[in-house]
Amino acid sequence: MAGGLSLLAGCGLTSQHKLEASLRQSENSIRQLQQELTKAKQKLHDQEAELQTLKSIESPFHSASSSRTPEAAVAWGAVNQLRIHSLTSGILRTEDGDLKMNLIVQPLDRDGEVVKVAGELSIRLQRPGKTNLLTQTTVTPLESRGVWTNGMIARGFQVELTLPSTADASLEPDDKVLTTATLNLGHDRQFEAAHLIRVPK
């Protein structure tokens, strides 16, 4: 009898130790997640502050004396034009038969070199000569960092749009879609590019 009670007590203690260990592990995981969330929020705050600083610059090189983002300020001021890269931009037909537009939009300096910069990017698709839009999307300055690609063929903002079924039904193979990209860097610095893209067969 005594041996049985001792065994049961031992099992109870073992279960309690396991439960306490599990709780400690969960608390550690929660603390770690909270620390990561705090760091992510701080990083987001810093990025937003950086973008606001760039928008308030009056001269491309005004913030060259700033120790924080001189490279970003120079890039902001270096942009001279916008281009839709024709070789890497196009419309694809998915396995489901839907039409998907893939675009590479490139900010360029006066020498035609690609400049990596953050800004609000708007994309509009429409049929040539028509005022109504097939579809459109906007990438915020903060999101634009995430859509930047350094591909082997082309660097720039990579944006994908799936055309709605109504637009898909109105388009025939070999039709052209007028694609317009607008990059707003703030402080009256806005650039636009347009390109006709053919619908695949």
One domain for residues 129 and 170:
yes
Quick: pLDDT tens for 146-165. Answer: 999 998 889 999 999 998 88
Separation of alpha carbons 118 and 189, rounded Å? 12
Tokens coding 93? 């037909």
One domain for residues 26 and 92:
no
Quote the domain boundaries for residue 19.
Answer: 1-55
Nearest C-alpha neighbor of 118 from the set 180, 50, 62:
50
Mean pLDDT within 186-193: 91
155: domain CATH number? 2.60.40.1940
Quick: pLDDT tens for 72-81. Answer: 666 767 899 9
Distances (CA, A) of 111 to 44, 62, 74: 33, 22, 15
Cβ–Cβ under 8 Å, residues 101 and 108 = no
The residue with greater pLDDT, 66 or 47, is 47
Cβ–Cβ under 8 Å, residues 138 and 48 = no
One domain for residues 111 and 22:
no
pTM above 0.85, yes or no: no
